[in-house]
Amino acid sequence: MTEAFPFLKSGHRYRVAMCVEYRGTEYYGWQIQKTGVRTVQAELTKAISKVANEPVDLIVAGRTDAGVHASNQILHFDTASYRKAYGWTSGVNTELPNDISVQWTQAVDIDFHARFSARERAYRYIVYNAPMPSGILRDGMTWERRELSLERMQAAANLLLGEHDFSSFRAANCQAHSPVKDVRELRLVRQGRLIVLQARANGFLYHMVRNIMGVLMAIGRGDRPVEWALEVLEGRDRNRGGITAPAAGLYFVRARYERGDLPEREAGPAILDGFAGLTEV
């Protein structure tokens, strides 16, 4: 981990990247909102600005929705304030609520952009598939009491791989310029009572992963045939797309960049570390 900023010049601003982990249950998503509701961005902006001793603007790799979590969210900001990497990390953490935590800080060149430099993003969605809900992990996963067929869900997920128009899987208020995305992985694994979907793509539409999971769960329950996933995709109509899966099970776990100087962590969340059959993203 870089402990100094060798390109710091007096009077010049420089760029800092951070990796943050957060539990989204108590927040109205990542982005600051005009209504003043509690958001992850607002909490981090306040904390980082205090440590920097100046206002900062944060740019993030992937904006998460209300109730959605992150284990490796990447952001950047520009500042004229000098701090060692550990100073940024520990200093900001002392100013944050206990459901948001900075994991590392890294100096980056001015060409790095947390959002536009990312070449791939990954999410994981966790389902607790059991007759009764979990009293301990309820906010960190979605409960489904009916038995889900992993084989049916994986067969349906395979139909969605590749570059397609995902209009049927985007929320009505999605602001993305194009509904076309390249989905590179939709892998489902089961261990005990947990089922995990790992999704990788060059980008995701608003609610896209939750809408995909809603379709896959309906197929896994046997409410719909496997081929329904392809019918929904080709229909390009959100009204045909079924129920949006709850936010509680969704985690932003990775943004990939074409550079080798950023620290690496397990994709997470920690409960999935060493999860059998779940490949690293």
Residue 216: which H helix or E strand, with range? helix 208-221
Condensed to tens digits (0 to 9), the pLDDT of residues 195-243 reads 999 999 999 999 999 999 999 999 999 999 999 999 999 999 888 888 9
What is the Cα–Cα distance from 1 to 107, expressed in whole angstroms?
A: 9
Indicate if 120-252 has the same CATH topology as 14-117: yes
Residue 37 token pair: 């509701």
120-252 — its CATH code? Answer: 3.30.70.660
pLDDT reported for residue 59:
97
CATH class of 14-117: alpha beta
Strand partners, 257: 118
- Residue 25 contacts residue 139 (beta carbons within 8 Å): yes
Residue 75 token pair: 């952001």
What is the Cα–Cα distance from 58 to 74, expressed in whole angstroms?
A: 10
Name, in order, each residue with C-beta under 8 angstroms of 267's C-beta and a sequence gap of 6 or more.
71, 72, 122, 124, 253, 254, 280, 281
What is the Cα–Cα distance from 250 to 68, expressed in whole angstroms?
A: 5
- Compute the average pLDDT of residues 10-33: 90
Q: What are phi and psi of 110, to 5 degrees?
A: -70, -15
Among the listed residues 200, 32, 44, the one whose alpha carbon sits nearest the alpha carbon of residue 125: 200
Condensed to tens digits (0 to 9), the pLDDT of residues 93-119 reads 999 999 999 999 999 999 999 999 999
Question: What's the mean pLDDT when you consider all of the chain?
Answer: 93
Domain definitions of the chain by residue range: 14-117, 120-252
Condensed to tens digits (0 to 9), the pLDDT of residues 39-69 reads 999 999 999 999 999 999 999 999 999 999 9
**Residue 51: strand, helix, or coil:** helix
Q: What are phi and psi of 262, to 5 degrees?
A: -95, 140
pTM of the shown model:
0.93
Known catalytic residue: 65? yes
Condensed to tens digits (0 to 9), the pLDDT of residues 117-171 reads 999 999 999 999 999 999 999 999 999 999 999 999 999 999 999 999 999 999 8
Of 57, 65, 109, 165, which one is the catalytic site residue? 65
Residue 139: which H helix or E strand, with range? none
